[in-house]
Structure 1
């Protein structure tokens, strides 16, 4: 049975997609990538490198300027949130709010 289109249904479907994306990207970039980089580089360089990888590997379809001006700072901020709280939950929440906020705009 097909679900009838409505704003609440679309919001739920997209919101679920944004939540799953936030979970996956946070665990990959702020988790796996940052963990391995931190074995080789200083904390600040680790944060910067994972943010650049997040911007350019995680968002390949976007232009250079958008990735440099929006996604690199976003990656740095999300890493800061994860490191300052010691939890992935808050960076996942912030990532979700960012993505969902763009959808609502």
Structure 2
């Protein structure tokens, strides 16, 4: 996880502010009501495509993240043990906090009803890619690849994990304390995966799978 180039806190803040401006601008365009531009199925893919593009075009983030992806981590079977452990912990703790029985979870996942029941396969595909892979790439790069590593320069491992996970939770604008803790837990587990595997690729998959679960659990599709 060593970086070839340093990044300053000013550059980190610039990344956060720019990403926030992208979120606000994209949301405003969607809320204008012109569904020919951005609607429910292409909002996330549009938003996070822009953020990911920015991260790669901005020299500071590009060089700081260079070497952090390490796709060879996907070939190590031990990393998948860590991955499945993280997924199980996230699911069990979230279900316990929300007081959701396993049976009702299965019923919700297999329910024929959905908010966007009549969506086409193309719309569903765009929605899923945006909500899972692109969201995970952007957020893991920012919160684990940049912020967590930057915090490690000043704080110990535990504090750095907690601070980066707390910021991740806060910026998701949770409605309840439970929602905030679930997002915090996701941040802690994703950071742990990143630390153990020395790659962003495993936490990206973990984050993507969890978001995919949320899509079907919430009956979006």
TM-score range, shorter chain: 0.7 to 0.9
Alignment partner for residue 85 of structure 1, among 174, 193, 197? 197
Hey, what's the Cα distance between the residues in 2 that align with 1:82 and 1:32?
12
State the aligned residue count. Answer: 99
Q: Which residue of 2 aligns with 1:70?
A: 182
Q: Which residue of 1 aligns with 2:156?
A: 42
State the SS of the aligned residue for 1:63.
coil
Greater alpha carbon shift after TM alignment, 86-95 vs 9-18: 9-18
1:16 paired to 2:142: no
Q: Which has the higher helix share?
A: 1
Q: How far did 1:64 drift? A: 4.1
Q: Which residue of 2 aligns with 1:96?
A: 208
Higher radius of gyration, 1 or 2: 2
Q: Deviations over 1:7-42 (max 9, x none)?
A: x32331112102111000000000110111001100
State the SS of the aligned residue for 1:87.
coil
Alignment partner for residue 33 of structure 1, among 143, 147, 150? 147
Runs of 4 or more above 2 Å deviation:
8-11
Q: How far did 1:97 drift? A: 0.4
Q: How far did 1:100 drift? A: 1.0
Hey, what's the Cα distance between the residues in 2 that align with 1:45 and 1:64?
23
Which ranges of structure 2 fall in alignment gaps of 5 or more residues?
Answer: 1-35, 37-117
- TM-score, normalised on structure 1? 0.87
Hey, what's the Cα distance between the residues in 1 that align with 2:182 and 2:119?
32
Q: How far did 1:5 drift? A: 3.4
